[in-house]
A and B are shown apart, each in its own frame.
Chain A
Amino acid sequence: MADQGGSQHGIARTSRVRTEEQKKRDLERIKKYRELEDQVRSHVSRGDYSPSVFQLTSKLLRLNPEYYTIWNTIGWVIMLDGVLEYFSYRHYNTIFHQLLVIVVGHDPARPRVPDSWEECAPDASGVRKDNNIEAATAAAAAAEQQDLSTIKTELNFTIPLLLESPKCYWIWSYRLWILQQAIQRLRSPLARQIWEEELGLASKMLGKDRRNFHAWGYRRHVVAQLESATLQGSSMVEAEFAYTERMINTDLSNFSAWHSRSKLIPRLLEERGADDAARRAFLDEELNKIREALNVGPEDQSLWYYHQFLVLNLVYPDKHPAMTRGLTTQDRVAYLRREVDEIKDLLEDYTDVKLIYEGLFEYTLYLCQLEGRQPDTGERADLVAWLGKLKRLDPMRNGRWADLERELGLKEGGGEE
């Protein structure tokens, strides 16, 4: 199972011996912590989800944000009707807000954690204006304006927190909840504007950590919302494709961006209404692009993975028809032959890069597969030579090279199988 809280990543080992002073301090903290925990539990066991429990759970979460049962308690508080009546929407919002501050508020460099519940109340904060959308006298437009400003304030507030803790599940979850409020409370052009800005945030996060797969997943989610009828959306596949282009131009080694590109292509061509010729031209462009990249960085796995993706399109057109529709087998053989030749040219500049030999080996076998034949004598000699290079350059994977050698009957000195 992927990462768990409680496990240590990247924290330097120290002697685990504590001083008497530290021991004493630990015992005091434990006493406080457990007393607080007992209080929360005694309320919950009585079925008491009153506002005072909020304060206790907030305190407890300030000490231990990973305490999932306490988050659940808060979920219960919010779901119970009585409480929703008690709190206005704005208060309800603020509770989430305060909890959020608490969760991420351990670091002195971060915004200061409020000391009391009152400090978080809308009136005291100064920034947050009272939002009394129920007021019958307020004009609808004014109410919407106010909602908009509240939503924007909340969203802006979390940005520095997210930049600091990009993997904190609760911040993302809070943001999504606010964004959902935008859909429910604002006319769709306004809600749409909010979600469009959210896409900007996803870009900002990915600018900071280009391989963060949580952020890539979040981006896919935001795009899906923006494309939905609820937000009067339409396809964004062109824009997203252009985004992968920008990410790749910034950093050729960003496999996450290449991956995203591979997933967008079928839809992109479909929506362009591309005919066979246009699809072929598209394939040519992709191949040119990745070839140019390989010329500069033949040691980069990310590039080879994308090249493999394109080659697989040629070898298995039934599975990947988007770029290869209308290509005859001869066409595909010609394409593949050209790739093999281009990679052979790389050997002039790079003699010790194992990925080049691996590519040549794999694609030569595909060529034979496409033509429904065994390797000829020249190819066989090449395969043997490349495998020898692979064994020498990449002994870590000798087991794999030995399997290939055996399966293909390439043992030096051995004849045809």
Chain B
Amino acid sequence: MPQNFDQLPEELQLATSAHVKYVQSLDTRKDEYDYWLTEHLRLNGLYWGLTSLHLLGRPDALPRAETIDFVLSCQHDSGGFGAAPGHDAHMLSTVSAVQILAMVDAFDELETRGKGKAQVGKYIASLQNPQTGTFAGDEWGEEDTRFLYGAFNALSLLGLLHLVDVEKAINHIAACANFDGGYGVSPGAESHAGQIFTCVAALTIAGRQDLVDKGRLGRWLSERQIAGGGLNGRPEKKEDVCYSWWVLSSLEMIGKTHWIDKDQLIAFILRCQDPERGGISDRPGDMVDVWHTVFGLAGLSLLQYPGLQPVDEVYCMPKSTTARVLGR
């Protein structure tokens, strides 16, 4: 892949300015019914959009002060964040809030104008099941390794991982492992790319990659790439831009990204973009959304597509952010 963007043939050009405009337009669609129907994902959406812009090298394309005001307006006294003002606190929106504040370097405002880091940490820690070490998404109790990863992600960014029983959580992840090196949604469940990402990333954050069978997992992950260059999430399933990210980032974490054909994956992701109106979809020709946009861009960044900012494969945020926050 040439280092200079202009030297690429047209079908391999990233429509950078269209993508920036697409993300910027997301919050101006208040006259569209769907805008209101997706309010329960607003904070997650902001994280997906802001990460996209940072990776595109346009971190200022959304106004910083308004971003911080909005995030803080979603916080509850418990320390947790809801998806939007008036929505209940939930693990996933709380993780997004922490990630957004980390990206715009505003943890100090969380202290002065919000409920403070310690309270956020307390909220997340309260969602751990003390018997099993797993985490629930909210007080209603649905458990999934997604929430365990979310908790580790946000707590480590806040420097508060010691608030939870890391060892119990790790034991739970180990119980989800399968003979093929992958991980399932719960003990006994078959391996699944999304769950592999959450489990391997949580183990990486906890410094316990020694538990991962890297050779076997790398092989399973590399076999997810199918004709056409995209990656699927399980054997004999269809390819998808978001699954491509779960698989690729997991390969990166265990140092095996070179076990797939990077150029073919780049070409697949680029075929999923809407070059005129911006945004990326699950497969070529489908409707775009900000979810597939961020995972498409993050994938391109990991694949060292020219002109993109480097992404952190564990946190799905710019490396510059995690380097600053985690002091590495």
Binding site for B on A (CB under 8 A): 1-14, 16, 18, 23, 26-27, 29-30, 33-34, 41, 63-64, 66-69, 72, 75, 169, 211, 213, 216-217, 220, 253, 255-256, 259-260, 262-263, 300-302, 305, 308-309, 312, 320, 395-400, 403
| Complex Cα spacing A211 to B256, Å | 28
Counting CB contacts under 8 A, is B19 at the interface?
no
Nearest neighbor of A319 in chain B, beta-carbon distance: B179
B126: interface (CB < 8 Å)? no
Cross-chain contact A67 with B40 (CB below 8 angstroms): yes
Please tell me which one of the listed residues A6, A12, A300, A301 contacts residue B223 in the complex, with CB atoms under 8 A apart.
A301
Centre residue among B92, B140, B259, B260 by max chain A CB count within 10 A: B259
Task: Answer yes or no: B189 CB below 8 A from chain A CBs.
Answer: yes
Is there an interface contact between A12 and B285, defined as CB atoms closer than 8 Å?
Answer: yes
A68-B90, A403-B259 are known contacts. Are A217 and B286 too (CB-CB below 8 A)?
no
Given contacts A6-B45, A64-B40, 16 further A-B contacts (CB under 8 A): A5-B40, A7-B291, A8-B292, A9-B286, A13-B274, A66-B40, A68-B88, A68-B138, A69-B82, A69-B83, A255-B236, A259-B190, A309-B179, A396-B260, A399-B259, A400-B256
Assembly CA distance A398 to B38 (angstroms): 43
Least distance between B322 CB and chain A CB atoms (Å): 18
Given A213-B189, A396-B261, also A1-B219 (CB < 8 A):
no
The smallest C-beta distance from B174 to any residue of chain A, in angstroms, reads: 13
Distance in Å: Cβ of A158 to nearest Cβ of chain B: 19
B13 within 8 Å of A (CB atoms) = no
In-complex Cβ contact of B259 among A18, A312, A397 (8 A): A397
Whole-angstrom distance between the Cβ of A247 and the nearest chain B Cβ: 13
Tell me which residues across on chain A come within 8 A of B82, comparing CB atoms. 69
- The reply on B54 being an interface residue by CB < 8 A is no
Least CB separation from B240: chain A residue: A9
Most buried by B among A27, A41, A169: A27
Closest residue of B by beta carbon distance from A28: B33
A320 CA to B219 CA in the complex, in Å? 21
In the complex, chain A residues whose CB is within 8 Å of the CB of B198:
1
By beta carbon, the residue of chain A nearest B184 is A213
Top 6 A-B pairs, shortest CB-CB distance: A399-B258, A2-B194, A7-B291, A259-B190, A400-B259, A396-B261
Contact: A8 with B288, CB < 8 Å?
yes
Question: In the bound complex, what is the Cα–Cα distance between A177 and B185 (angstroms)?
Answer: 22
How many residues on chain B are close to A (CB under 8 Å)? Answer: 68
Stretch at the interface among B63-71, B127-135, B162-170, B276-284: B276-284
How many angstroms from the CA of A26 to the CA of B31 in the assembled complex? 7
Tell whether B113 is near chain A: CB-to-CB under 8 Å. no
Cα distance A256–B33 when bound, in Å? 39
B253-275 interface bits toward A, Cβ cutoff 8 Å, 1 = contact, 0 = none: 00010111100100000000010
B-side contacts of A11, CB under 8 Å:
286-287
Contact, CB under 8 Å: B180 / A9: no
- Check: B86 CB closer than 8 A to any chain A CB: yes
Residues in A whose Cβ lies below 8 Å from that of B195: 2
Question: Is there contact, CB below 8 Å, between A64 and B236?
Answer: no
Let me know if A10 and B283 touch, CB within 8 A. yes
A–B complex contacts, Cβ < 8 Å, 25 sampled: A2-B192, A6-B40, A7-B282, A8-B291, A8-B292, A9-B286, A12-B286, A14-B287, A18-B32, A29-B33, A30-B30, A68-B40, A68-B83, A68-B87, A69-B83, A216-B190, A217-B185, A217-B189, A305-B235, A396-B260, A397-B260, A399-B259, A400-B219, A400-B258, A403-B258
Interface: B41 (CB within 8 A)? yes
Closest A residue to B242 by CB, please name it.
A7
- Which chain B residues border A263 with CB–CB below 8 Å? 188
Q: Which of A1, A4, A169, A308 contacts B149 (CB 8 A)?
A: A1
Closest to B195 in A: A2
Bound complex: CA A7 to CA B283 (Å): 12
Given known A-B contacts A30-B33, A301-B235, A10 and B286 have beta carbons under 8 A apart? yes
Chain B nearest CB from A109 CB (Å) reads 22
Residue of chain A at shortest CB distance from B180: A305
| B contact residues around A3 at 8 Å (CB) | 194
**With A1-B198, A8-B292, A263-B188 given, is the CB distance from A72 to B236 under 8 Å?**
no
Q: How far apart are the CA atoms of A245 and B259 in the complex, in Å?
A: 34
For the complex formed, measure the closest distance between the CB of B19 and the CB atoms of chain A, giving whole angstroms: 15
Chain B, Cβ-Cβ closest to A310: B179
Distance of A302 Cα from B237 Cα, bound (Å): 11
Q: Is the CB of A7 within 8 A of B86?
A: no
Task: Collect the chain A residues with CB atoms within 8 Å of residue B185's CB.
Answer: 2, 213, 217
List A contacts of B184 (CB < 8 A). 213
> Complex: how many Å from CA A403 to CA B281?
33
**Could you tell me if B88 and A301 are in contact, using CB atoms closer than 8 angstroms?**
no
In the assembled complex, the CB of A300 is this many whole angstroms from the nearest CB of chain B, namely: 8
Beta-carbon contact of A23 and B179 below 8 Å: no
In the bound complex, do residue A8 and residue B281 qualify as a contact, i.e. CB atoms below 8 Å apart?
yes
Chain A positions within 8 Å of B223 at CB level: 301, 397
Contact of A72 among B45, B88, B235 (CB under 8 A): B88
Which residues of B are found within 8 Å of A399, using beta-carbon distances? 256, 258-260
A27 to B35 alpha-carbon distance, docked (Å): 11
Residue contact B222 to A397, C-beta cutoff 8 Å: yes
Most buried by B among A8, A67, A403: A8
Does B52 lie at the interface of the complex (its beta carbon under 8 Å from any beta carbon of A)? Answer: no
CA separation between A399 and B263, bound complex, in Å? 13
Q: Considering the chains assembled together, what is the distance between the CA atoms of A316 and B179 in angstroms?
A: 11
Chain A residues with CB under 8 Å of B194's CB are 1-3
Docked Cα-Cα span, A18 to B190, in Å, equals: 43
Indicate if the CB atoms of B189 and A216 lie closer than 8 Å: yes
Instruction: Answer whether residue B99 sits at the interface, using C-beta atoms and an 8 A cutoff.
Output: no
The answer to whether the Cβ of B80 comes within 8 Å of any Cβ in the partner chain is no
Q: B252 interface residue, CB < 8 Å from A?
A: no
- Report the minimal beta-carbon distance from B21 to chain A, rounded to whole angstroms: 13
Shortest CB-to-CB span from B124 to chain A, Å, is 15
Chain B residues in 8 Å Cβ range of A30 = 30-31, 33, 36
B166 to chain A: closest CB distance in Å? 20
